[in-house]
Each structure stands twice: as structure tokens, then as C-alpha cells.
């Protein structure tokens, strides 16, 4: 989470950090949404309190772990279909940071996206921060870029400002599908809802030979999914609120959240006391700017 926080502070020095109730990635939020819907998929993550803000920290898998029986072109096709802008060439991924209101929770979510749709004749979006946003149309990326370079004195991270900000309505999540099979949009709508991605290019292939992707704007589908799943989202909201409360009420304000795919969600003390979610310098800055 350190890169995300440093990016926010570099681009938005006056960002009201303490107005944020929860900072998480698409993975941890998505896991809890699936749990609320009783979808059996085990997960584990840590939670840490900084100031009055709770951070969900994804548990990384071992770098030696392999994925067996991997099929399809979901990872390789985007490398061929998309290109990096010249000023950000050599990057390995693009991470978006958005903020939105979910009932009474103000949430910042970091997630990876596949790219953006370049608008013909469009101008570079302004770098000035917009006012509050809560809907899909109004959600915007915090991870923009400018033209200067900045390196923290205490962090090992190298912060480089390059490229331009891209509005959220240009962002897409690319999907591939075998020819003659039907792509079920319902399967990805929860993820799209979490990270507020409005566009889904769908590319069909026959033995690896792809047709040109058809781009769908799914904002209306997401809103319809939201209406149909009001009960689920209500349970999800209660779940998030409860975890936030438990973290704040715990002795050291740090817990582990896990689910084995069955039974109740487990919230326990962290057995191994690792590093905090942010380095000491940022922990202090979070309090100072709050």
C-alpha cells in the first residue's frame, strides 16, 4: 500500500487522509463481497489501523507457487492487443486508485486495469482535483502523472511522474472468450462494481486467432446489477463496518481476517507481528495531515 499512499500524496498534497474510512485493494474487497454472497473461495488478509483509517493488506502468495492447468489467452492477449504510451514504456502494470462513497463509508480502492481507450482528438485531462465523486461516472483515478521527478529521502521507492492522467470513463477490463461459447457478463459485474471500470472489450478467438474485440460500455449493466443485489450489498456494507469496528476495538489495532470457504469469517490477532502497512514516516504524515 505504500506506493499507493505516496502516489496520492505526491499528486494531491492536500488530500484529506483522515476522511478515508477504508483503504483496500480490489482483491481484498472482492473476497469479502464473495463471502457476503456465500461464494466458496478461501482468502486471508491483514487489517491495520492508521489514524482513524483501516487498511486491508493482501496476503501475497509465495513466489515459488505455480498455477497448474492454466489455459486460455487471458494473460498473453492483452500484451499483443494493447501498447504502452511512450512516456510510460517499460512498465509492468497499471494500477488505478479511486475513491468513492459506499453508504456511510468513504473508501479508497487500488486495483489493476488492462488499459484505456484513447479518444480521438481528446485533450489531456486537467490535473486539478475534481470535487467529491460517488457514482460510476464521477469516479476518477488518483494515480495520475505529471512531469517532474521526486524521490523520498527515507523510502526505497523511486517516485517518477510521467505521462498524463486518464479519466476513469476511458478505463477498460479486457476479456477473452473461445469462439462459439457465451461470455457470462454476470460473472465479472461484481469486480467491475468494486473497481468502477466502465468498459469491457470482449475478444473471441478460434484456436488462438482473435477477432477484433467488441467494446461494451457496462455502466448501465453495473447499475442494474447493483439494484438486483441490494440485499447482498447491504450485507456487504454491514460486514465492512463490522471489520472496521473490530480493528479499532482490538488491543493493538491489527488483526488477520480469513475464511476457509466454509463456516463463519474468522477475525483473529496477528500471530506474526510483521511490519506495519506503512513506514514510520508515512504513519506520522497520515496523522499530521488528518
Domain extents in the chain: 2-71+90-169+230-289
Position 128 scores a pLDDT of 42
Strand, helix or coil for residue 198: coil
One-character DSSP codes across 139-151 = --BS----S-EEE
pTM over 0.75: yes
pLDDT (tens digit per residue) in 187-221: 889 999 999 999 988 887 776 666 777 888 999 99
Integer Cα distance of 174 and 63 in angstroms: 25
Euclidean distance between CA atoms 42 and 85, whole angstroms: 37
Residue owning grid cell 475534481: 130
The string of DSSP codes covering 97-162 is EEEEEETTEEEEEEEEE-EE-PPTTPPPPP-SPP----STTT--BS----S-EEE-SS-S-EEE--
| Banded pLDDT at 183 (limits 50, 70, 90) | confident
**Three-class DSSP labels, 53-86:** EEEEEECCCCCCCCCCCCCCCCCCHHHHHCCCCH
pLDDT, tens digit, for every residue of 226-268?
Answer: 999 999 999 999 999 999 999 999 988 999 999 998 889 999 9
Kindly report the average pLDDT of the chain as a whole number. Answer: 79
For β-strands 149-151 and 158-160, DSSP reports them as: antiparallel
Amino acid at each position: 500500500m505504500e506506493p499507493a499512499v505516496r502516489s496520492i500524496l505526491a499528486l494531491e498534497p492536500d488530500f484529506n487522509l483522515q476522511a478515508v474510512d477504508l483503504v483496500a485493494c480490489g482483491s481484498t474487497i472482492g473476497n469479502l463481497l464473495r463471502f457476503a454472497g456465500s461464494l466458496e473461495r478461501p482468502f486471508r488478509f491483514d487489517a491495520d489501523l492508521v489514524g482513524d483509517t483501516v487498511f486491508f493488506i493482501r496476503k501475497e502468495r509465495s513466489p515459488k507457487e505455480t498455477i497448474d492447468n492454466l489455459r486460455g489467452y487471458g494473460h498473453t492477449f492483452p500484451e499483443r492487443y494493447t501498447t504502452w504510451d511512450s512516456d510510460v514504456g517499460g512498465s509492468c502494470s497499471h494500477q488505478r486508485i479511486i475513491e468513492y462513497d459506499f453508504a456511510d463509508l468513504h473508501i479508497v480502492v487500488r486495483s489493476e486495469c488492462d488499459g484505456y481507450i484513447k479518444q480521438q482528438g481528446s485533450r489531456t485531462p486537467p490535473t486539478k482535483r475534481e470535487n467529491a465523486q460517488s457514482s460510476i461516472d464521477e469516479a476518477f483515478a488518483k494515480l495520475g502523472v505529471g512531469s517532474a521527478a521526486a524521490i523520498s529521502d527515507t523510502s526505497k521507492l523511486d517516485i517518477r511522474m510521467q505521462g498524463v492522467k486518464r479519466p476513469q470513463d476511458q478505463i477498460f477490463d479486457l476479456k477473452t472468450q473461445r469462439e462459439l461459447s457465451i461470455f457470462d457478463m454476470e460473472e465479472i459485474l461484481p469486480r467491475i462494481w468494486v473497481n468502477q471500470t466502465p468498459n469491457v472489450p470482449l475478444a473471441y478467438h478460434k484456436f488462438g486467432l482473435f477477432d477484433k474485440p467488441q467494446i461494451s460500455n457496462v455502466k448501465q449493466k453495473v447499475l442494474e446489477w447493483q439494484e438486483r443485489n441490494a440485499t447482498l450489498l447491504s450485507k456487504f456494507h454491514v460486514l465492512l463496518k463490522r471489520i472496521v469496528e473490530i480493528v479499532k476495538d482490538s488491543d493493538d489495532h491489527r488483526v488477520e481476517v480469513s475464511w476457509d470457504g466454509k463456516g463463519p469469517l474468522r477475525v483473529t490477532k496477528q500471530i506474526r507481528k510483521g511490519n506495519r502497512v506503512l513506514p514510520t514516516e508515512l504513519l506520522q504524515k497520515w496523522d499530521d495531515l488528518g
